[in-house]
Amino acid sequence: MGEEDLIHAGLLRDYDRALGTDSTGSRIDELRWGTGLSARLPVRELAADSVACLAAAIDRFRASRNLPSSRWLLDPNRITASFSGEKMLRIEGEPVQAFSELSGFFESADGWVRTHANYPHHKRALTEALGLAPEVECERLSARLAELPGSEIEHRCARGNAIAVRVRTEDEWICAEGAEASRGPLVRRTARLVPANTEQANLEQADLEQGAQVQRARVRAERPLDGLRVLDLTRVIAGPVATRALALLGASVLRIDAPRLPEIEWQHLENGQGKRSATVDATSARGARILTELLTQADVLVTGYRPGSIESVLPRVPARIVHATVSAWSPGPWHQRRGFDSIVQAASGIALIEHTDGRPGALPAQALDHASGYLLAAGVVDSLADIETGAPGNHVAVSLERTAAWLLSAPGRRTDPPSPTLPPATTTTTVHGAIRSAKPALAEYADYRSPAHAWGSDVPVFDVPDGPSPMSS
């Protein structure tokens, strides 16, 4: 295929433009798409693009270690299955329910709103913001929302750390809250600077000198990140998708959660593959000591909470570490608000574009989450390649809002697309005991290294052999 025939070419160029990378040397082929991820907006383009960005980054990392590159094949069925992971997932043969009954579109007094209450603490916040009992039924919530204008619902929820937004048109969003996101880079990457304080600077410089001495003995082309350590402080989908991809490439990924905030089971089973899972109370003295030790061993830190919230309880992050962050909103008026893929779709105009039968609709998959995850993983891999030169670690950031802005501005909208279909499970899923889950989006990998461990079941240590990390020895 020529580049004009490849639907992945657009975002790959935008990624290169944002990070100053060059993907023209990567050999990326693509099978013809059918109706997987079919939508009015170019969702399949976004999905293929984001996976292509990761593939090209892997090539550059391999080149930094004198390893051969690959010829990549973007398989629409594998990509569709991975992006639609919750629809492909089966637990003891049964499908999962992705959203709670209090999460969804509701009519307000002057339009529509979208709520998110999948987690118990988000449900409590939503009912409190609306003056309702904690165990309110869906019908009562609907009646209460119908009494209030959308802007008031949104304001109440933002003030109470609940999650609900007024459904907007894309013009409304771009002209107001979303203007900044549409102008910013697709992926933000900045060097983490050594501080001016002399004592701290010496400490950071020692970190950098350690990070420049790379061992290659254990590195293989298939698993180029073998031996590297990733500390995963993310939840839900986008961040876990990024760290799942890093685990697929060989990294030792340790996910840490607060013991009081258990993950939704299906999300953990679908996005926790290839990783260890432990709980640590970061606010306790013991938890702080554990995190300090883990950060001294880690090569990458990935955080996925509201900007600054988890960082505020973390100890010093060494300068050599790549610190990757994913958030719902880009720098701008909503930067500190909570948000999820469905919420960004509703606020940005996507839900109205994808309408069905007079109601707001949704993309055929939580594509903002998944695409942002692959973009973040690509940024991490490119930053790890940079460390080969002795450069400090980078801060890499993506947001669902910026990914949505790319989707809204991309060419290729369809007026009357066919209904989206799922690929055959026989060729796109794998079975481990009672769990059937989607295979990796990268078709070169048959499966993840392991199914998801039970949430919080591991001790908080990396699973690489004793000894220094290849990036810090």
Phi, psi of 180, deg, nearest 5 = -65, -40
3-class secondary structure, 202: helix
Whether the predicted pLDDT of 391 surpasses 70: no
3-class secondary structure, 328: coil
Going by C-alpha positions, the residue among 351, 350, 352, 326 that lies closest to residue 339 is: 326
Going by C-alpha positions, the residue among 274, 237, 243 that lies closest to residue 458 is: 274
Say what the pLDDT of residue 209 is: 46
Say what the pLDDT of residue 4 is: 40
Q: What one-character-per-residue DSSP string does 351-416 give?
A: HHHT-BTTB----SS-HHHHHHHHHHHHHHHHHHHHHTTTPPPEEEEEEHHHHHHHHHHSS---SS
Whether the predicted pLDDT of 392 surpasses 70: no
Q: How many helices (H) and strands (E) does the chain have?
A: 18, 15
Angstrom distance (rounded) from CA 231 to CA 311: 13
Contact between 338 and 200 under an 8 Å Cβ cutoff? The reply is no
Whether the predicted pLDDT of 205 surpasses 50: no
Contact between 442 and 255 under an 8 Å Cβ cutoff? The reply is no
Say what the pLDDT of residue 305 is: 82
What are 294's two structure tokens?
């883990």
Give mean pLDDT, residues 107-132: 95
Under 8 Å CB-to-CB from 344, ≥6 apart: which residues? 328, 329, 350, 368, 400, 401, 404
Q: Which amino acid is at 227?
A: G
Contact between 122 and 163 under an 8 Å Cβ cutoff? The reply is yes
Give mean pLDDT, residues 429-444: 97
Whether the predicted pLDDT of 359 surpasses 50: yes
Supply the pTM of this predicted model.
0.91
Least confident of 189-198, 336-345, 383-392, 430-439: 189-198
Whether the predicted pLDDT of 85 surpasses 80: yes
* Per-residue b or e along 318-350, where b marks 16 or more CB atoms closer than 10 Å to that residue's CB: bbbbbbbbbbbbbbbebbebbbbbbbbbbbbbb
Give mean pLDDT, residues 211-237: 74
What are 307's two structure tokens?
């900007």
3-class secondary structure, 260: coil
Give mean pLDDT, residues 316-330: 90
Which three-class secondary structure string do you get for 113-152? Answer: EEECCCCHHHHHHHHHHCCCCCCCCHHHHHHHHHHCCHHH
Rounded (10°) CA dihedral 180, 328, 166, 337: -90
Q: How many CB atoms lie within 10 A of CB 236?
A: 21
What are 125's two structure tokens?
């916040």
Give mean pLDDT, residues 76-104: 95
**Separation in Å, CA 362 to CA 19, 334, 350, 354:** 30, 21, 7, 6
Going by C-alpha positions, the residue among 391, 374, 376, 372 that lies closest to residue 321 is: 391
Length of the chain: 473
Say what the pLDDT of residue 271 is: 96
Angstrom distance (rounded) from CA 249 to CA 51: 13
Contact between 218 and 194 under an 8 Å Cβ cutoff? The reply is no
Residue with tokens 């102008």: 183
Angstrom distance (rounded) from CA 188 to CA 185: 6
Query: What mean pLDDT is reported for the chain?
Result: 88
Whether the predicted pLDDT of 138 surpasses 90: yes
Going by C-alpha positions, the residue among 339, 337, 308, 344 that lies closest to residue 325 is: 308
| CA dihedral sign, ordered 51, 52, 57, 61 | positive
Say what the pLDDT of residue 175 is: 86
Beta-bridge partners for 115: 104, 164
Most confident range, picked from 37-41, 187-191, 197-201: 37-41
What's the CATH class of domain 3-97+185-438? alpha beta
Whether the predicted pLDDT of 388 surpasses 90: no
Compute CA 376 distance to the chain's CA centroid, rounded to the nearest angstrom.
Answer: 7
Give mean pLDDT, residues 462-466: 64
By percentage, how much of the chain surpasses pLDDT 90? 74
What are 248's two structure tokens?
């697929």
The helix (H) or strand (E) run that includes residue 170 is helix 170-175
| 111: confidence class by pLDDT, cuts 50, 70, 90 | very high
Pinpoint the residues of the chain covered by CATH 3.40.50.10540. Answer: 3-97+185-438
Whether the predicted pLDDT of 195 surpasses 90: no
Whether the predicted pLDDT of 199 surpasses 90: no
By percentage, how much of the chain surpasses pLDDT 70? 88
* Surface-to-core class of residue 465, CB atoms within 10 Å of its CB (0-12 exposed, 13-18 middle, 19+ buried): exposed
Say what the pLDDT of residue 178 is: 75
Angstrom distance (rounded) from CA 116 to CA 127: 11
Q: What are the tens digits of pLDDT across the range 37-57? A: 999 999 999 999 999 999 999
| 313: confidence class by pLDDT, cuts 50, 70, 90 | confident
Q: What is the CA radius of gyration of the chain?
A: 22
